[in-house]
Amino acid sequence: MVDKSGSRVRQMFGEIAGRYDLLNHLLSLNVDKYWRWWTVRQVPPTGDAPILDLCTGTGDLALAYLRASQGRVPIVAADFCHPMLAIGRQKGTRAAHAEQITFIEADAQHLPLPDDKFQIVCVAFGLRNVADTDRGLREMTRVCRPGGKVAVLEFSQPSWPPFRAFYGWYFRNVLPRIGQALARNRLDAYNYLPESVGEFPCGEALCERLRLAGLRDVKYHPLTFGIATLYVGTK
């Protein structure tokens, strides 16, 4: 079992924070930007209720929602890793409608936020790192408005066997070496990545966890041959 204790995860992301964006875009050949853009298209802002991006890291999904809503909707971006948030905050101050985005330091398992507040509660590549997945999903559901959407974008296992074999090899052998060489962190963040993806539920199995958290009409949409998947449920 991968060690997902809060202190380990926080320290690991703290060590790679300065290079996180560069490595994300490099290792995914910029496809990660398309995945977030597509998430915002599939789960668009409506009305004026706020949006919450959990495990926001350096804030890319929160900033995608800020652009899409053109400042009409307050965005709250939460993470428990201070160095990641600090970079997100800097990016936020340079964005158009910067006054509409707020970064808060919070654990996804104990959100200091009221029930039924947000029209969209989203998380990109973060839920897999939360020590207690079900608790994280219950918190997402709790703070979502009735009728609002919970959206989870996460890595998954490609289903087409030849691609699955090639991608599995790249993901386990090539990506950790490049990541480790460039990020130079002690906690092996780029070995943690394939290990944590390998043991995290995907497809129907993760949909079931969203249902258990109290969501309905849960659907999933594989992206880029199933490397990533977007899960959406309604409260």
Ligand X SMILES: C[S@@+](CC[C@H](N)C(=O)[O-])C[C@H]1O[C@@H](n2cnc3c(N)ncnc32)[C@H](O)[C@@H]1O
Binding ligand X by CB under 6 A: which of 74, 126, 158, 226? Answer: 126
Binding segment toward ligand X, per CB under 6 A, in 105-113, 138-146, 174-182, 207-215: 105-113
- 83 lines the binding site for ligand X (CB under 6 A): no
Of 167 and 192, the one with the shorter C-beta distance to ligand X is 192
Among 63, 121, 124, 232, the residue binding ligand X under the rule CB under 6 A is 124
What's the farthest any 2 CA atoms get from each other in the chain?
47
Closest CB to ligand X among 136 and 148? 136
Which of the residues 152 through 191 are near ligand X (CB under 6 A)? none
Distance (Å, rounded) from C-alpha 19 to C-alpha 133?
26
Q: How far is the CB of 204 from ligand X (least distance, A)?
A: 23
Q: Pick the closer one to ligand X by CB: 186 or 216.
A: 186
Is residue 129 part of the contact set for ligand X (CB under 6 A)?
yes
76, 130, 202, 213: residue in contact with ligand X (rule CB under 6 A) = 130
Rg from Cα positions in the chain? 17
How far apart are the C-alpha atoms of 136 and 12, rounded to whole Å?
Answer: 19
The one segment of 7-15, 41-49, 90-98, 172-180 that binds ligand X by CB under 6 A: 7-15
* Smallest distance, ligand X to C-beta of residue 127, A: 8
What is the amino acid identity at position 79? D
Number of residues that bind ligand X (CB under 6 A): 22
Is residue 210 within 8 A of residue 231, CB to CB? The reply is: yes
Region from 104-112, 139-147, 155-163, 201-209 binding ligand X, contact rule CB under 6 A? 104-112
Q: How far apart, in whole angstroms, are the C-alpha atoms of residue 124 and residue 61?
A: 7
Task: Please identify which residue in 69, 91, 107, 190 interacts with ligand X, judged by CB under 6 A.
Answer: 107
Q: Can you tell me which of 109, 180, 196, 224 binds ligand X, judged by CB under 6 A?
A: 109
Q: Which residues bind ligand X (CB under 6 A)?
A: 6, 9-10, 13, 24, 55-57, 60-61, 79-81, 84, 107-109, 124-126, 129-130
